[in-house]
Structures are given as structure tokens and as C-alpha cells.
Amino acid sequence: MKIYVNYFKYYVIVFTLLVTSYNANAVGDVVGSGFSYQGELLHNGEPANGEFSIQIAMMLTETDGPPAVRANTYPNVQVTNGLFSIAEVDFGDAIYDGTEYWLQILVKKSSDPGFNHALLPRQRLSAVPYAVQAEFLDPGGASNGDILQFDGSNWVGQSPVINTPLWIQTSSNISYEIGKVGIGSGTSNPLATLHVNAQSGTGIDPFRVQKSGSTKLMVHDNGGVSIGTSGTAPDNGLIVNGDTSLKGDVAVSGDLKQPINSNGTWKYMVYATCGNSSSSEIHRSFNNTTATAPVIVISGISAGTCTFSFPENIHQRFFQASATSINISRGVTCWNGSITGSLGQSKLSCKRYNGTGSGSNGRIMVMVF
């Protein structure tokens, strides 16, 4: 359709509105809410040339009425041999809610102070922008406020999930609280809260944790794990850089069915004077368990003989004791239980003796592991 209007005193302008249609059948095409506007500008029947400013507004009525709902101004539009094109006229997708609109076109030379001339009558906006949305939906369409979800062949309107967002943002923090997260091939059904499955031999390490730019924990491409360093660990092995504090047993055999009280790490170390009740005393002790004080208690029995009470059962553990003396004739013997007849499984009785086998008060070192 062509519209003839007087543009200044000596101008006659002809405009043709062309709304670009989109190929919405090709999956992957990005279709937005914008459309192109192309026109032809004539002066006294001859093609115009130069720069013009064009304003395109969305109006609710065909004639005079409420102010523009939306208006975009495009300055310095180049008109060559009467032809011009505005590549993208976009009022956003929210405006297309089913309301009927008319396009109002205002034109002026770029050098003029204001828009004083409108193309009349206003042009009714066709259903093309709405079709961009409708073609992607199933026959049921979508309601206002729905979200679009691709079902493999069409974009289908879905009601948003209320109060259960996938990611929750609190201030500058973000968290995921409603399921498991899988990263990598084969993790569509994650087996843990965070499941990372990396393919070996790719040269890419699957996991790294840094503190102030220094690597503290890393899983390497070879399956090895390094702690406190980024140095390559043995294949499927472990490398640790720094002191290690073990709170528990070490299954040397690798048998995960070992009992909880299996041996493997130092549990207790005691440096004490062993003798009768008046001389028995613990000087230093080390506890590598989670037990709370009192950790280790000593009670004197007789000359050179004392009993240690530990905070857990040590009946099936190994122990070693020695006399801290330069006299090679001194020795120590320990046994689980007390010489008084109380076979408490958390107790260890020790006797420090001289070369003749008699009890001799003095200091001993006891280790339980």
C-alpha cells in the first residue's frame, strides 16, 4: 500500500512498509521481536536523496488518541535514490500481548528541529510479529507469564515453577539445593551431589582447588590425586605436600571391610614415671583420637609397676614400651589388663624392672597403634 502525504510545502512522499518475515522452521534460527522497515521516499515524483530522521511509534488508535505506547527514533537515515532501510525496529516482546496497534511514522530532515509531519493514515500492525511467537508453540499456545520449553520439535508454553528456582541467589552467593549436579559424559543421572566424570587421556585435569593462586587439591588426568601441590601424582595414586595428621586407622591392605578398630596409625604415646602410687606420673602424652579429657590416666601399683587407662578399647591393638635409661639392664613388659585382676580392655599395665627381674621405679615410653 502506498500513502501520499505533503511533507513540506514542495514535497510529496510515498512510503511502502515492508515487514520482514522469518523462517521459523529451521531449528537454531534466532528469532526476536524486531522487524525491518523499508521504504521509498519521493520528492515531486522523483527519488529523494540525503539524510532524514524517522520516528516509528506504536499507537493504540488509528487516528488521534492516547500518546504513543512505544516510540523509537532513527536519526541520520540515509536515503539513496529514494530508497532507505531500517534494519531493526524492536519494541521488545512484552508489548505483543494481543493488543491491536497502529504504526505512526514521522519524518523530517535531519537538520530540522522537530517532527512536524506525520504519514497518514496510521498503518495497522499486521499479525506477523505475533506469528513469530505462535509458530513455535503447540496448538494450545502459551499463556501470559509462561516460559517456552523446547520438546524436540516445537517450543511449548510451560507454567514457571513457583518458589523452586534451580539456582538460589542470596546477596553475592548462589546455591543449588533441589538435586544433584552432573558434569561430563554419562552424568545425566548424577550419583552424588556433585558428580564429575572426565575422560582419561585427554590431557585435561578434571578437578582443581586453589587458594590465593596456589593449588591445594587436584585430580589429575592420570587418575592420581595431589594434596597441597599441583605436582603430578602417581597413576591412580596420591601425593601429599605438607604435614599430615591422621585421625583414624589406615587400611594398608586396601580391604575396606577391616574392622573400625584395625591397626595402622599411632593412637597414643605416653612418657611417664612408672612405680607405686606416690611416684607414678604422666609427663607428656599424645592422643590421636577424638576423645576428650581426661585422655590418659596413670595409677601406680607397686615398685616399677603402673597401669594406664585409655579412652577407648585397645584390646586388639599393638603396643610397644621401653625404659628411658642408659642402663641396658633395664627393661619394660606390658600387658592388656591390670595385675589386680581387672581385665579392662581400655587398660594397659606395665612393669619396669632391673637386671635381676625386680620392679624398679623410673621413666618409660609407651606407644599404642
Q: What is the pLDDT of residues 300-323, one digit of tens each?
A: 999 999 999 998 888 878 899 999
CATH of the domain at 19: 2.60.40
Full domain range(s) for residue 217: 201-244
Per-residue pLDDT, 72: 93
pLDDT in tens, 20-79: 434 444 444 556 778 888 888 777 778 888 998 989 999 999 888 788 899 999 999 999
Q: Are 294 and 208 part of one and the same domain?
A: no
Per-residue pLDDT, 313: 84
Q: For residue 302, what is the enclosing H or E element? A: strand 297-302
pLDDT in tens, 69-125: 999 999 999 999 988 899 888 988 778 777 888 888 888 888 888 887 777 788 887
Examine the fold and report which residue of 115, 132, 149 is the final residue of a domain before the chain moves on: 132
pLDDT band of residue 264 (cuts 50, 70, 90) is: low
46-47 vs 42-43, strand pairing mode: antiparallel
Q: Are 288 and 343 part of one and the same domain?
A: yes
Per-residue pLDDT, 262: 56
Q: Are 16 and 123 part of one and the same domain?
A: yes
Does residue 258 sit within a domain?
Answer: no
Does residue 257 sit within a domain?
Answer: no
State the CB neighbour count (10 A cutoff) for residue 88. Answer: 12
Q: What is the DSSP letter of 359?
A: B
Contact between 279 and 359 (Cβ < 8 Å): no
Q: Are 17 and 78 part of one and the same domain?
A: yes
Distance between CA atoms of residues 158 and 148, nearest Å: 6
**What Rg, from alpha-carbon coordinates, does the chain have?**
43
Contact between 305 and 275 (Cβ < 8 Å): yes
Q: What is the DSSP letter of 258?
A: S
pLDDT band of residue 13 (cuts 50, 70, 90) is: very low
Does residue 156 sit within a domain?
Answer: no
Does residue 294 sit within a domain?
Answer: yes
Distance between CA atoms of residues 249 and 258, nearest Å: 10
User: At residue 11, does pLDDT exceed 50?
Assistant: no
User: At residue 15, does pLDDT exceed 50?
Assistant: no
Query: What pTM, to 2 d.p., does this model score?
Result: 0.39
**Domain count for the chain:** 4
Q: Are 105 and 166 part of one and the same domain?
A: no
Phi, psi of 59 (to 5 degrees): -115, 155
Distance between CA atoms of residues 109 and 114, nearest Å: 9
**Higher-pLDDT residue of 221, 165:** 221
Q: Are 73 and 120 part of one and the same domain?
A: yes
Per the listing, cell 602424652 goes with 285
- In whole angstroms, how far apart are CA 321 and each of 4, 87, 227, 282? 112, 90, 34, 14
Contact between 202 and 179 (Cβ < 8 Å): no
User: At residue 297, does pLDDT exceed 60?
Assistant: yes
Per mean pLDDT, which range of 15-24, 94-103, 259-268, 272-281 is the poorest? 15-24
Torsion 127-129-130-136 (CA) sign: positive
Q: Are 179 and 67 part of one and the same domain?
A: no
Per-residue pLDDT, 146: 74
Q: Are 340 and 310 part of one and the same domain?
A: yes
User: At residue 350, does pLDDT exceed 60?
Assistant: yes
Per-residue pLDDT, 127: 61
Q: pLDDT above 90 covers what percent of the chain?
A: 27
Task: Please give the average per-residue pLDDT across 334-347, as a whole number.
Answer: 70
Does residue 350 sit within a domain?
Answer: yes
Per-residue pLDDT, 293: 59
Task: Please give the average per-residue pLDDT across 333-344, as a whole number.
Answer: 68
Distance between CA atoms of residues 322 and 151, nearest Å: 76
Question: Which among 45, 52, 39 is positioned nearest to 12, based on CA atoms?
Answer: 45
Contact between 349 and 301 (Cβ < 8 Å): yes
AA letter at 253: S
Q: pLDDT above 70 covers what percent of the chain?
A: 75
pLDDT in tens, 141-182: 667 667 777 777 777 777 765 555 678 888 889 888 888 999
Q: What 3-state class would DSSP assign to 98?
A: coil
Contact between 82 and 131 (Cβ < 8 Å): no
Q: Are 67 and 114 part of one and the same domain?
A: yes
Q: Are 91 and 35 part of one and the same domain?
A: yes
Q: For residue 132, what is the enclosing H or E element? A: helix 128-134
- In whole angstroms, how far apart are CA 303 and each of 194, 272, 326? 61, 14, 19
Q: What is the DSSP letter of 179?
A: S
User: At residue 266, does pLDDT exceed 50?
Assistant: yes
Examine the fold and report which residue of 112, 132, 152 is the final residue of a domain before the chain moves on: 132
Distance between CA atoms of residues 359 and 340, nearest Å: 16
pLDDT in tens, 321-338: 999 877 666 789 998 865
Distance between CA atoms of residues 362 and 279, nearest Å: 9
Does residue 45 sit within a domain?
Answer: yes
Per-residue pLDDT, 30: 53
Q: Are 283 and 212 part of one and the same domain?
A: no
Torsion of CA 88, 92, 96, 97, to 10 degrees: 180
Q: Are 169 and 207 part of one and the same domain?
A: no
User: At residue 223, does pLDDT exceed 80?
Assistant: yes
Does residue 151 sit within a domain?
Answer: no
Per-residue pLDDT, 21: 39
Per-residue pLDDT, 18: 43
pLDDT band of residue 292 (cuts 50, 70, 90) is: low
Does residue 146 sit within a domain?
Answer: no
Examine the fold and report which residue of 94, 112, 132 is the final residue of a domain before the chain moves on: 132
